[in-house]
Amino acid sequence: MAKRVTLGLAGCGTRPEMILADMQTLGSQIELSAVFDTHAPSMEHYAEKFNPDARICTSFEDLIGGGELDWVMIATPNSFHVAHVCAALNAGIHVFSEKPLAISVDECLDILRTVRETSREFCIGYTLRYSPHYRKIGKLVAGGAIGDIISLEANETLDFNHGGHIHSGWRAFEENSGGHMLEKCSHDLDMINQFVGCRAARVVSFGGKNFFVQHNGHLFDDLSTGGRKAFRTFWRPHENRANPFLSGSTVVDNQVALIEYENGVRATFHTNCVAGLHERRMYILGTKGAIRADAVAGTIEMKKIGFGERIVDESANDVEAVHAGGDRVLAEEFSQVMLGRMKPTTTVEDGVVSAFTAFGMDESRKTGKIGDMAPYWEKLERETRRVRAH
């Protein structure tokens, strides 16, 4: 019998459970061999669900030091990504890391350098890249259906429960998550970057915390009805979460941004953590037509400039599926990568570019100035030149 590919997991929280549950080859061709989390019951839960014989580890070093791992999945809070990813790569282990890549420019470049120096496989969990909905939009754009993109709007407005989740856990603090734009919206920035096909040249952004503030604290109980507790979702049920209005969160709950791309395309992005109407929408206008798509509703509309018909496609998305159906495809393609049957869909460079775009927006938000992205790309290019010189 062929040897199973062995996978270790760091961070046994909400996210990896979704991916592992969708991996058809887990248990047959791929084995979850070892787990590490700072919360012991979470490790036991994963072992019980995915492999009772999995090694329960006492530290990250213990996880990667057992000598049996081919791959490791990093699903720890964002501030730990750099240490965990680099240590695993340096130990000769291939890495799947959850997004975002890391929480600072230097950390992102550390990961980029380590991936390039160790020549290990690296994939990052930008799940929208795998979604049939977004792949359909990408195909239309790349196939020239709307001509060259001129401008676009995108948004991610989150259900209020999701906002409560963000403002009451580790994501609430910039030192853990790297900020809301990076943590939550770098998915969308990654997709916009991909569709536009180049990097941001200039960004400007405004944002703040206007809802999850102390004087709205009564809403935590006031909006709970019929046995349903507002702002407390099913995520992390064992955690007795803080009231998100009183948590002292340091991340914004709403932000808008403008981007001008190197090829002249102009884009707007809007996020809000307490939407009455939750959307993840894109409206892309090109020289030949326009696409309007909502990943939550599962619709893609397209119309050419002129007197032709509007085409409405509702088949691209399973609206019940998380992340516009991306997770199932990601789990399957990640399995294929682990089994050596395909190359990763999303690279470390994609992770750097979306993170840097978010950093640029937050820099503009904090300084009140239009952000020139050139210094970010110069750092990336300097790192690339340094690697080539060696």
Q: Rounded to the nearest whole angstrom, what is the least distance from the CB of residue 63 to ligand NAD in the complex?
A: 9
Using Cβ positions, the residue closest to ligand NAD within the complex turns out to be: 13
For ligand NAD, the closer of residues 79 and 149 by Cβ is: 79
Among 8, 11, 164, 289, binds ligand NAD (CB under 6 A): 11
Instruction: Please report whether residue 188 would count as binding ligand NAD according to CB under 6 A.
Output: no
Instruction: Please report whether residue 236 would count as binding ligand NAD according to CB under 6 A.
Output: yes
Q: Rounded to the nearest whole angstrom, what is the least distance from the CB of residue 383 to ligand NAD in the complex?
A: 23
Question: For residue 58, with 0-12 CB atoms within 10 Å meaning exposed, 13-18 middle and 19 or more buried, which class applies?
Answer: exposed
Provide CB contacts within 8 A for 247, sequence distance 6+.
167, 168, 172, 212
Instruction: Please report whether residue 98 would count as binding ligand NAD according to CB under 6 A.
Output: yes
CA dihedral (273, 208, 177, 99) in degrees, to 10, reads: 60
For ligand NAD, the closer of residues 323 and 365 by Cβ is: 323
Instruction: Please report whether residue 45 would count as binding ligand NAD according to CB under 6 A.
Output: no
> Structure tokens of 41?
């019951």
Among 94, 99, 199, 281, binds ligand NAD (CB under 6 A): 99
Binding-site size for ligand NAD (CB under 6 A) equals 26
Strand arrangement of the beta sheet that strand 200-208 belongs to: 311-313, 299-304, 289-294, 279-286, 149-159, 266-275, 254-261, 200-208, 371-372
Among 5, 7, 9, 12, binds ligand NAD (CB under 6 A): 12
3-state secondary structure 99-145: CCCCCCHHHHHHHHHHHHHHCCCEEECCHHHHCHHHHHHHHHHHCCC
Q: Tell me the residue ranges of DSSP E strands in the chain.
A: 5-10, 30-36, 55-56, 71-74, 94-97, 122-124, 149-159, 200-208, 254-261, 266-275, 279-286, 289-294, 299-304, 311-313, 371-372
Instruction: Please report whether residue 134 would count as binding ligand NAD according to CB under 6 A.
Output: no
Which backbone phi and psi does 172 adopt, to 5 degrees? Answer: -65, -15
For ligand NAD, the closer of residues 94 and 241 by Cβ is: 241
For ligand NAD, the closer of residues 127 and 157 by Cβ is: 127
Instruction: Please report whether residue 163 would count as binding ligand NAD according to CB under 6 A.
Output: no
Q: How far is CA 363 from CA 201, 206, 313, 368, in A?
A: 14, 10, 38, 8
Separation of alpha carbons 295 and 283, rounded Å: 12
CA dihedral (46, 187, 104, 124) in degrees, to 10, reads: 50
Provide CB contacts within 8 A for 15, sequence distance 6+.
75, 98, 125
* Residue span binding ligand NAD (CB under 6 A) among the ranges 9-17, 112-120, 217-225, 380-388: 9-17
Write the binding mask 14 to 33 for ligand NAD: x where contact by CB under 6 A, - elsewhere: xx------------------
**Within 238-267, which residues bind ligand NAD (CB under 6 A)?**
none
* Residue span binding ligand NAD (CB under 6 A) among the ranges 71-79, 111-119, 280-288, 294-302: 71-79
Instruction: Please report whether residue 38 would count as binding ligand NAD according to CB under 6 A.
Output: yes
Q: Rounded to the nearest whole angstrom, what is the least distance from the CB of residue 129 to ligand NAD in the complex?
A: 10
For ligand NAD, the closer of residues 6 and 346 by Cβ is: 346
For ligand NAD, the closer of residues 140 and 247 by Cβ is: 247
Among 46, 50, 71, 80, binds ligand NAD (CB under 6 A): 80
Which backbone phi and psi does 102 adopt, to 5 degrees? Answer: -170, 180
Instruction: Please report whether residue 9 would count as binding ligand NAD according to CB under 6 A.
Output: no
Instruction: Please report whether residue 346 would count as binding ligand NAD according to CB under 6 A.
Output: no
User: CB neighbours (10 Å) of residue 388?
Assistant: 8
For ligand NAD, the closer of residues 199 and 323 by Cβ is: 323
Return the axis-axis angle of helices 81-90 and 105-118, rounded to nearest 10°.
Answer: 10
Instruction: Please report whether residue 36 would count as binding ligand NAD according to CB under 6 A.
Output: yes
Among 116, 129, 162, 323, binds ligand NAD (CB under 6 A): 323
Q: Rounded to the nearest whole angstrom, what is the least distance from the CB of residue 100 to ligand NAD in the complex?
A: 6
Q: Residue 77: helix, strand or coil by DSSP?
A: coil
Summarize as ranges the residues that interact with ligand NAD (CB under 6 A).
10-15, 36-39, 42, 60, 75-78, 80, 98-99, 125, 127, 169-170, 183, 236, 323
